[in-house]
Structure 1
Amino acid sequence: MMRSFALFLALLGAPVLHAARPNVLFIIVDDLTTTLSCHGNTSVHTPAMDALAARGVRFEHAYTQFALCNPSRCSFLTGCYPEKTGVMDLTTSLRKALPEVVTLPQYFKDHGYATGRIGKVFHVADPKTKLDVELRTALHKDTDNFVEAKAANDPGDKPHGTAKGEGYNRAYAASARPAADFTDYQIADDAIATLDAFKEKTFFLAVGFIRPHTPYVAPRAFFEAIDKNRLSTHDEALDALQAYLAATGFVDSQIGRVLARLNELKLAENTIVVLTGDHGYQLGEHGLWAKQTLFEGGTHVPLIIAAPGVKPGVRTGLAEQVDVYPTLCDLAGLPRPKHLQGRSLKPMLDDPAAKGRQMAVSTMVATNTKLTGHSVRTDAFRYIVWDQNGGELLYDLRTDRDELHNLADQPAQAERMKRMRERLATHLKTVSAP
């Protein structure tokens, strides 16, 4: 009750705009890759995100600018590439390089929107983004559920770290707790309460869900919904993949609660809904698990946009997450700020035949060597290069979807390699400029 009253007080005085201007609901899902039914994954159950894709536009080939939470979020929340934000790790603030930049939610507030952020939106809190409603749900709920489930189901796997829940060899567990005891359920509750408070206003609401970020913990029913016999992996990786998909199914159910409330309030027809993960995620490809790679698994992200007047469909052209900010400006009829480095996806939303980008570029700092690498993804190829002569890779995605055969040293690819180097150099020079 007190929290709802605080929401009400925070919204007093927020200006009401002309009803024709669309609302924005921006949903960010932590560590969510393209393991969705609408992306062709037959093992997972994601009816809410599938339904959103069915009434919106799903971008088949959307890519993150950095396969790590803080750099990625700083990039799409400012509309700038990591080379511009200066954020390449989990702790740096975007204000170090961009002290005056106006972030996406702040820009909508500055243009008269009632604004809110619920759950995890920024990875590092931004003191200059001051919205009407700001609620971050404590993560201890899921940690407590995880530790309890590990003790009950996997007592042999003892934590090795100093903090509770740290250092398990197997960071997944099915919980006997009900959905209401989980962090994402509370985030959905807060998002629903905020929608109720915003229903008479024109709003921008960003909602950041936590799962399927590790630990992969969810109510047991979501584990039981995943048939492990259909998963093509082995041993503990099989259990981990089941758990990741279970956590994905659980967060989908909470997204479904928020979208259902949007419909019940009769706001869906005048609301732009954007859904994405903050980066890709390796699930065993190349023998790798989690994020921080430049391969397809680490950089490929879900991106769904449902907007008033936009016909549903699928777009196969290349898109980048840095494009979200200018796209929302265009869809809302707002002028684009001059600092934006992305390009609007509105032409692709309006015209299924419109072409996407010629290339999508991602950056990475290697965990162990600290070398900086870049990936250039075109319609047919992926080029990866690491600095300090760290090596080059070239994959033909038409015949090598799993990126297993490096063509970089083949004489027949010499001209293509030259073009890739030149295009990347031009891009980096452009986006790094003051």
Structure 2
Amino acid sequence: MVRSEQPNILILMADQMAPSALPVYGHPLVKAPNIARLAAEGVVFDSAYCNSPLCAPSRFSFLSGLLPSRIGAYDNACEFPADQPTIAHDLRYRGYRTILAGKMHFVGPDQLHGFEERLTTDIYPADFGWTPDWTRFADRPSWYHSMDSVLTAGPCVRTNQLDYDEEVSFVTRRKLYEIARGKDERPFFMVMSLTHPHDPFAIPARYWNLYDDADIPEPRVRIAKADQDPHALRLRHVIGMDLDDVTDDQVRAARRAYYGAISFVDEQIGLVLDTLAESGMAQNTIVLLIGDHGEMLGERDLWYKMNFFEGGARVPMIVHAPGRFAPHRVAASVSLVDLMPTLADLAGGDMPEAMAPCADGVSLMPHLLGQAGRDEAIGEYLGEGAIAPIVMIRRGRLKFIHSPVDPDQLFDLAADPDELDNLAADPAHAGQVASFRREVAERWDLAQVEADVLANQRRRRLIAAATSRGAAKHWDYQPFRDASRDYVRGHMDLEELEASARFPRVRGE
């Protein structure tokens, strides 16, 4: 069958996968051969960041090309506006078949956001029940991260995340075979989004046993509670880190399970890549591997994400298209909002006028071609553990973190990759701090952002309380399946059915 000349685009997304735990970014122990294969043949971004170190805001920024505060994506219970164009809208407008499998954490009644097909439900709720309350910071939310994931880390037989990710992987592969056997000549844009290696830190023995306790490295950086910065102390409170003693064995078990979860993710990626090859579509498919944020994994005595240290904010980013781009590595800082204009370039042109003027990202095409491109990543954090906006600017070797309620942080990552030496109060760097502060003031009205967040939280909490009474009408996506069209049915021509379902075909078209 003759397909469109536009390339297929397949995005493989993993949840909470820190680059520092991947061998392609230097980890000596973790086994991820399929990701390594993508990297060896692709363009590897060594300094890619999320735009918010939290699941839903990061994903909404990735899909829209906009920073979280510009679309009201403050936390994991914020509605993603239905009138906000996304990558899926753009590519669908260009003639792509747009397909989503797995987690995207859409909140609100629109559960498609430009995707023509959605193959699974989400793993997380689509309502406002997880809305934080900055005005009652002392009250820990019962539905948020806790240290239970670390305290109970270890091997398991089954978890709901395994159920979910194996379904996501299966339906992705089945859809690829369906596309290969079908008569729809449109190129496809597909997102497969797994929830591993996100905590809880539990993984079957098959993956747990890939690693030995004696080989699991301890966290590189340990910082006593008394020496933590104010936001780190807030994060310790919101996840209940000081409610239980955490032993070295528990830390080791959590890290071992996390490594095993990465190997699980890698295996699912390998199955999908094999399916692409078997179906004859690999050559014309651009594959992107990304994450939504990182995982501290005990570094700095912190867990999970929610901060702009390297462990929480950096993400893997690999673009695999060896027929288009020579394998190489990119040192410049980039971020997930850059993917919207990049995919527009890959699909064949500029973004539509309704989208281009408001994009915060820039195309990564110069980087993909081995040329100079923008070196900048901008971030915002407005979720749990914050009491005011926190923003980040990464440019060159410097990272600047600012919040109206906290002391500034300035790190020279070339000289201080572990971010141990805060230069913000050093007189020698006063000029740089002043310049960054001016840029923050130009980019954001942080007082207005804070007011918007607080008002939005109040509205959502009211709606969540009201809709929990009486008969609840849920927004969670319900995948549609027409069983009358599955497998073999009486109204089908059996010979044609069997011939069309077999791949490669053994009869004429």
Does the pair score TM above 0.5?
A: yes
Q: Measure how far apart 1:80 and its partner are.
A: 0.7
Q: Kindly provide the amino acid, as one letter, of the partner of residue 220 in structure 1.
A: A
Tell me, yes or no, if the aligned pair for 1:179 and 1:219 is still in contact at 8 Å: no
Q: Give the structure 2 partner of residue 268 of structure 1.
A: 282
Aligned to 2:78, the other structure's residue is in SS state coil
CA 1:235–1:172: 2 relative to 1, 3 Å? closer
Distance in structure 1 (CA, Å) of the matches to 2:173 and 2:442: 45
Q: Give the structure 2 partner of residue 422 of structure 1.
A: 438
Structure 1 spans left out of the alignment, 5+ residues: 1-15, 141-160
Q: Give the structure 1 partner of residue 70 of structure 2.
A: 84
Distance in structure 2 (CA, Å) of the matches to 1:139 and 1:121: 9
- For residues 26-425 of structure 1, the aligned pairs below 5 Å read 26-34=11-19, 35-95=21-81, 99-124=82-107, 126-127=110-111, 129-136=113-120, 139=123, 170-176=151-157, 182-199=163-180, 201=185, 202-233=187-218, 234-307=248-321, 308-337=323-352, 338=356, 339-351=358-370, 353-357=371-375, 359-365=376-382, 367-388=384-405, 390-425=406-441
Max Rg structure: 2
Aligned to 1:124, the other structure's residue is in SS state coil
Measured on the aligned residues, the alpha-carbon RMSD in Å equals: 2.8
Tell me, yes or no, if the aligned pair for 1:67 and 1:291 is still in contact at 8 Å: yes
Query: Over residues 13-61 of structure 1, what are the superposed CA-to-partner deviations in whole Å (9 max), with x where a residue is unaligned?
Result: xxx9962110010111111111111111112111111111111111000
Tell me, yes or no, if the aligned pair for 1:28 and 1:121 is still in contact at 8 Å: no
Q: Measure how far apart 1:412 and its partner are.
A: 0.6
Q: Measure how far apart 1:306 and its partner are.
A: 1.4
Distance in structure 2 (CA, Å) of the matches to 1:162 and 1:427: 33
Q: Kindly provide the amino acid, as one letter, of the partner of residue 102 in structure 1.
A: P
Distance in structure 2 (CA, Å) of the matches to 1:373 and 1:111: 37
CA 1:85–1:243: 2 relative to 1, 3 Å? same
Distance in structure 1 (CA, Å) of the matches to 2:83 and 2:52: 22
Q: Kindly provide the amino acid, as one letter, of the partner of residue 58 in structure 2.
A: S
After alignment, is 280-289 or 245-254 more displaced? 280-289
Q: Measure how far apart 1:348 and its partner are.
A: 0.7
Distance in structure 1 (CA, Å) of the matches to 2:273 and 2:104: 18
In percent, how many aligned pairs have the same letter? Answer: 31
CA 1:179–1:84: 2 relative to 1, 3 Å? closer
Query: Over residues 336-355 of structure 1, what are the superposed CA-to-partner deviations in whole Å (9 max), with x where a residue is unaligned?
Result: 1323221000111012x424
Q: Measure how far apart 1:129 and its partner are.
A: 2.1
Q: Measure how far apart 1:180 and its partner are.
A: 12
Tell me, yes or no, if the aligned pair for 2:76 and 2:105 is still in contact at 8 Å: no
Q: Kindly provide the amino acid, as one letter, of the partner of residue 380 in structure 1.
A: R
After alignment, is 127-136 or 243-252 more displaced? 127-136
Q: Measure how far apart 1:267 and its partner are.
A: 0.9
Tell me, yes or no, if the aligned pair for 1:108 and 1:115 is still in contact at 8 Å: yes
Q: Give the structure 1 partner of residue 496 of structure 2.
A: none
Q: Kindly provide the amino acid, as one letter, of the partner of residue 297 in structure 2.
A: L
TM, length-normalised to structure 2 = 0.71
Q: Kindly provide the amino acid, as one letter, of the partner of residue 282 in structure 1.
A: M
Q: Measure how far apart 1:162 and its partner are.
A: 10
Aligned to 1:94, the other structure's residue is in SS state coil
Distance in structure 2 (CA, Å) of the matches to 1:171 and 1:19: 50
Structure 2 spans left out of the alignment, 5+ residues: 125-141, 219-247, 450-509
Distance in structure 2 (CA, Å) of the matches to 1:301 and 1:130: 24
TM, length-normalised to structure 1 = 0.83
Query: Over residues 271-323 of structure 1, what are the superposed CA-to-partner deviations in whole Å (9 max), with x where a residue is unaligned?
Result: 11111011122122221110101111111110011134111111111111100
Q: Give the structure 2 partner of residue 7 of structure 1.
A: none
Q: Kindly provide the amino acid, as one letter, of the partner of residue 100 in structure 1.
A: D
